[in-house]
Amino acid sequence: MKTLVIGASTNKERYSYKAIQKLRKLNLDVCALGLNQGEIMDVKIETNPIEYKNIHTISIYLKAKNQFQYLNYLIKLNPQRVIFNPGSENDILMSKLKESQISCENSCTLVLLSTNQY
């Protein structure tokens, strides 16, 4: 199950950083997209959208106003689900993704992972 984290950061205090760490510690495939290049464990942070194949989950760590530029990208990746982490909730984007048959939820990737609900 491959996960794409959008809003990835090398700042160890950021939740996107912690989520990538936890996903990798569980041996899950992870891709990352962020403003700045870097690495978290063995995950390279890309700064430009890449057409990844077989993305199951997209975990978003961006404010709503910074998400709309990724709408077509998200639809093209056609994930099974998109998780809007706390602070990234976006009803407009969520409804557009649902129109494309993409499941969405306002949730916390870290909580889902730690409670075996991921």
**Boundaries of domain holding 87:** 2-114
Whole-number percent of the chain with pLDDT over 90: 99
What's the number of domains the chain is made of? Answer: 1
**pLDDT for 41:** 96
Mean per-residue pLDDT over the chain, rounded:
97
CA–CA separation, 2 vs 85, rounded Å? 17
- Where residue 57 sits, what CATH number does that domain have? 3.40.50.720
Q: What is the pTM of this model?
A: 0.97
pLDDT tens for each residue of 71-108 = 999 999 999 999 999 999 999 999 999 999 999 999 99
Mean pLDDT score, 10-16 = 98
**What mean pLDDT is predicted for residues 28-37?**
97
